[in-house]
């Protein structure tokens, strides 16, 4: 179990470093596409850094707002608050904000910058379908995300993907308006710059690569959180039973979006498990490993 935790942490570190590299590539592509060289590259990187920094401080509030989460009333949701408090005391964590999402699909997520600035949200469908032991397993899974600083990694992934996508979109739209041509000094011809074509290709590919990397980060972190949750509760059958119920339920989480899909305990969007000629490429963008794989791993603990 501990080797799995160490392996997942190493991979996540490498993937975050990869995000930094991709941002740098986007900056370089920006410079190539516009013939601005180092100046255009520095400007693009500065814009990306500013977007990521601003989003980092507000990403948790945005995720809660997008998911239409509301604070869980301590009296109405006493069972949930008691579970969260008990697990936090046992694991030495400060109690996060507790939120409810009015959605019939059973699901949950955690968000925030660090353990002192974190929140967990569960859907009404989860509360309706899970018994106390199963709900404890799900809550422990989300608290594990907080304890392992997965919420920080996920937030950085969201902001970096957003910065990469926005920079690429700005550059592509600007090149489209300009006809994809760069006039050279002393040359009024409309010949296309081959370096601009290379930059254009990189700008198209960068968002796709970033999304695949974000999905890879999320998949590694979900496995780590499952194992950590069992360590926290000392009772793997509780989380196994919860995951089996999630596997049997096919309700789409309508409160989720593509931007927040990787935060939830299971893949919240429709289309999971689709087969066909494009099944392989579709799995590249899956933010979660298959539930049957997660259940099989927990059974081996």
The residues annotated with a catalytic role in the active site are 142
What the block records as the tokens of 254 is 């309508």
**Residue 172 to residues 30, 168, 181, Cα–Cα distance (Å):** 9, 6, 12
Cα 16-210-99 angle, rounded to 5 deg: 75
What the block records as the tokens of 117 is 């600035």
- The Cβ of residue 189 has, within 10 Å, a number of other Cβ atoms equal to 8
Please list the alpha-helical segments (H only) found in the chain: 2-34, 37-66, 78-91, 124-129, 132-147, 150-177, 194-233, 236-248, 279-284, 291-299
Give the CB-side neighbour count of residue 193, counting CA atoms within 13 A.
24
């Amino acid at each position: 179990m501990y080797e799995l935790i160490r392996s997942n942490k190493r991979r996540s570190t490498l993937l975050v470093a990869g995000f930094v590299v991709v941002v740098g590539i986007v900056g370089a592509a920006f410079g190539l596409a516009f013939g601005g060289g180092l100046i255009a590259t520095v400007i693009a990187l500065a814009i990306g850094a500013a977007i990521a920094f601003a989003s980092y401080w507000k990403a948790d509030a945005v995720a809660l707002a997008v998911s239409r989460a509301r604070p869980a009333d301590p009296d109405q949701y006493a069972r949930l608050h008691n579970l969260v408090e008990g697990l936090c005391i046992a694991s030495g964590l400060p109690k996060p904000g507790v939120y409810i999402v009015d959605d019939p699909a059973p699901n949950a997520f955690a968000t925030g910058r660090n353990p002192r600035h974190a929140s967990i949200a569960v859907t009404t469908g989860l509360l309706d379908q899970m018994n106390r032991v199963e709900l404890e397993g799900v809550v422990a899974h989300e608290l594990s995300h907080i304890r392992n600083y997965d919420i920080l990694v996920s937030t950085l992934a969201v902001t970096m993907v957003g910065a990469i996508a926005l920079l690429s979109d700005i550059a592509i739209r600007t090149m489209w308006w300009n006809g994809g041509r760069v006039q050279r000094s002393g040359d009024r011809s409309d010949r296309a710059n081959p370096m601009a074509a290379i930059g254009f290709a990189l700008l198209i590919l960068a968002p796709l690569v970033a999304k695949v990397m974000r999905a890879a980060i999320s998949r590694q972190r979900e496995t780590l959180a499952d194992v950590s949750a069992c360590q926290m509760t000392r009772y793997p059958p509780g989380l196994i039973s919860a995951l089996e119920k999630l596997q049997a339920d096919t309700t789409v989480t309508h409160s989720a979006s593509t931007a927040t899909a990787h935060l939830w305990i299971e893949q919240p969007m429709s289309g999971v498990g689709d087969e066909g000629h494009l099944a392989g490429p579709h799995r590249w963008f899956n933010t979660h490993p298959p539930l049957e794989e997660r259940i099989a791993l927990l059974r081996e603990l």
